[in-house]
Amino acid sequence: MKIVIVKLLGYLLTPIYLVVFGVLLVVFHPIQMICRNLGGYGAHKKSVDVMNFLIIKSLFILGTSTSFRGFEKLPKERPIILISNHQSLFDIPAIIWGFRDHHPKFIAKIELGKGIPSVSYNLRYGGSALIDRKKPLQSVREIGKLGRYIEKKKYTASIFPEGTRTKDGKMKPFLSAGVDTLLKATPSAVVVPLVIDGNYELLKKGLYPMSCGVNVQYTVLDPIEPGTLTVEELAMKTEI
């Protein structure tokens, strides 16, 4: 009976959440533009932080609980290469908010740079790298450019080495090429593994219905000094 009620709630509450989610994206698009044009990077970033905080908090509509653990381990005043598993599109807002003091930037497919309110604007103007998977050389250039940027600014580059989202929570093998490019461009970076657990359950059946009562955890593990490790060894060390 409880399972039936939870499923029914998913059908009833998902439209409410999706309306809230869509409204946040639409409303914050012009807010981002105004903040960036009038206040530059700092104001733009604050608007993005607030939007993603609201996206996470509004998941309470579905009875979702979110917890952040181990974030006190994050080093200060150093560039970070954040290596994480990837479970759903809701990984991104949590990383933006949880790592807000470390200015997370992303490696995203170029198609996401157009057509999505707020998301596309932030990818284009927030410092992230947009890569064309059909053009390997372009991808390498953009990732290298991102690496040099976070090296200079002491920011964070977030990468999902699985290459795609998992639908069942089981991790796929990590691909090391993107990490290798980042490490070469960011010699002073420290590698931080992030474990995401539970997000895949939110979208087990896609965007409708979303699951209710999910517990999502974001856990930072001990930072790793790349040192003499090969990229393959580093990938294995961060594969949780």
pLDDT in tens, the chain (240 residues): 667 787 889 999 999 999 999 999 999 999 999 999 999 999 999 999 999 999 999 999 999 999 999 999 999 899 999 999 989 999 999 999 999 999 999 999 999 999 999 999 999 999 999 999 899 999 999 999 999 999 999 999 999 987 666 666 566 667 778 889 999 999 999 999 999 999 999 998 889 999 999 999 999 999 999 876 666 666 666 665
Separation of alpha carbons 100 and 156, rounded Å: 10
Structure-token pair, residue 69: 């653990």
In eight-state DSSP terms, residue 212 is: S
Whole-prediction pTM: 0.92
Structure-token pair, residue 237: 């060390």
**What are the tens digits of pLDDT across the range 154-209?**
999 999 987 666 666 566 667 778 889 999 999 999 999 999 999 999 998 889 99
- Per-residue pLDDT, 6: 79
CB atoms closer than 10 angstroms to residue 118 = 22
Separation of alpha carbons 209 and 4, rounded Å: 13
Q: Please identify which residue in the block is written with the tokens 């057509």.
A: 115
Per the rule left: phi > 0, alpha: psi between -120 and 50, beta: everything else, 224 is: beta
Separation of alpha carbons 226 and 120, rounded Å: 32
Q: Please provide the DSSP assignment of 35-56 as one string.
A: HHHHHHHHHHHHHHHHHHHHHH
Judge contact between 82 and 129, C-beta under 8 A: no
Domain that holds residue 23: 2-238
3-state secondary structure of 157: strand
In eight-state DSSP terms, residue 171 is: P
Number of domains present in the structure of the chain: 1
Phi, psi dihedrals of residue 66, rounded to the nearest 5° = -125, 130
Per the rule left: phi > 0, alpha: psi between -120 and 50, beta: everything else, 176 is: alpha
- Per-residue pLDDT, 240: 53
- Domain containing 59 — which CATH number? 3.40.1130
Separation of alpha carbons 124 and 130, rounded Å: 8
Structure-token pair, residue 189: 């970076």
Is the preceding omega at residue 193 within 30 degrees of 0, hence cis?
A: no
Q: Please identify which residue in the block is written with the tokens 């608007």.
A: 47
Strands (DSSP E) contained in the chain are 65-69, 80-84, 104-109, 129-131, 156-159, 190-197, 215-220
